[in-house]
Structure 1
């Protein structure tokens, strides 16, 4: 994330917190696999690490907007963190979906106008379009203000278009302007 995204953003006065996944993955299953007790335990542990990082960021940077950005498993954690009732000022889910996306009984929480940017490739081998679409629809149903982009043929990576949109959103947020224009 440091090289692929952060080094290419122009927003000033931003502090980035990047929790590391133990062993370079947060959980041992594909996000769309049915949840197992082991996956649930790993997901709970991962969400705990995200919550700790958020708490530290909020205490060390009081008054600074909190933005959650994740790619792949990190994007799935962003979705789960928000849909389980935790908050941010803005979020971006890059190539992600809900964990256990085949289940209809996933937790949800009101998102009350939170701006969320979602992007995926239409042939991504890890996050199928139907799972991405289901996550986006869930955000909208819970009241988020969502922008969603699907990039034809994009491999499992972050694209220049996604970086440009996140940068635009961050600059707007840092300058106190609406991320997606005025609220309806």
Structure 2
């Protein structure tokens, strides 16, 4: 199970009006994902980056049967909920809470917000989709109230099939999300400069 190990950067929670929760990918750590913040319009945000125990949120592919990824998947989702609860206890409302995840972290981010659909500040998912061997629509409910999403993905991507990304977008839109999907032909499994720029334009608007 994941230990709660959350790294802070940017503004202090006491002073910030907005918070960005950053979720790293498989085999990575918080340093890499926090390093992205230097390229984003988030200088006024408090940055919170939970670190996965053993640097992996769940052991198998995000398209494995969910029970194969337990108890790690549920533990990871619970950890994100705990981080959000810590922020709201500081008096920061959900509509001032933003999320960014890459790869496995993007999958976890999308799964979490779809299970807790409400008016968030915005969501950036860089190469990710909703989790499961199929999409379990009964897990998703609420109303995003036109929360802006930016989702970027390569085609083909070795870990995240484009069709799953498109299916995920459809579900998010059914929950009233305002989703912009950008597909990059032949892009390797990485984060591109265009994704950074689009994220700033769509989600981290100054």
2:144 alignment counterpart: 111
| SS of aligned partner of 1:149 | strand
8 Å CA contact 2:129–2:160 kept in 1: the answer is yes
Give 1:51 deviation, angstroms.
1.1
| SS of aligned partner of 2:48 | coil
Runs of 4+ in structure 1 deviating by more than 6 angstroms, as ranges, are none
Instruction: Could you tell me which runs of 5 or more consecutive residues in structure 2 were left unpaired when the two chains were aligned.
Output: 1-32
| SS of aligned partner of 2:150 | strand
Distance across 2 between alignment mates of 1:43 and 1:77 = 8
Distance across 2 between alignment mates of 1:70 and 1:106 = 23
**Structure 1 vs Structure 2 CA RMSD:** 2.0
Instruction: Could you tell me which runs of 5 or more consecutive residues in structure 1 were left unpaired when the two chains were aligned.
Output: 176-184
Give 1:47 deviation, angstroms.
0.7
Give 1:29 deviation, angstroms.
1.1
1:89 alignment counterpart: 121
Higher strand proportion (structure 1 or 2): 2
8 Å CA contact 1:123–1:153 kept in 2: the answer is yes
| Residues 105/14 of structure 1: CA separation in 2 closer, same or farther (3 Å cut) | closer
Matched, 1:25 2:56: yes
Matched, 1:57 2:87: yes
1:8 alignment counterpart: 39
| SS of aligned partner of 1:17 | strand
Give 1:96 deviation, angstroms.
0.5
Distance across 1 between alignment mates of 2:61 and 2:169 = 18
TM-score, normalisation: structure 2 = 0.75
Distance across 1 between alignment mates of 2:131 and 2:48 = 22
8 Å CA contact 1:95–1:119 kept in 2: the answer is yes
TM-score, normalisation: structure 1 = 0.84
Distance across 1 between alignment mates of 2:109 and 2:168 = 11
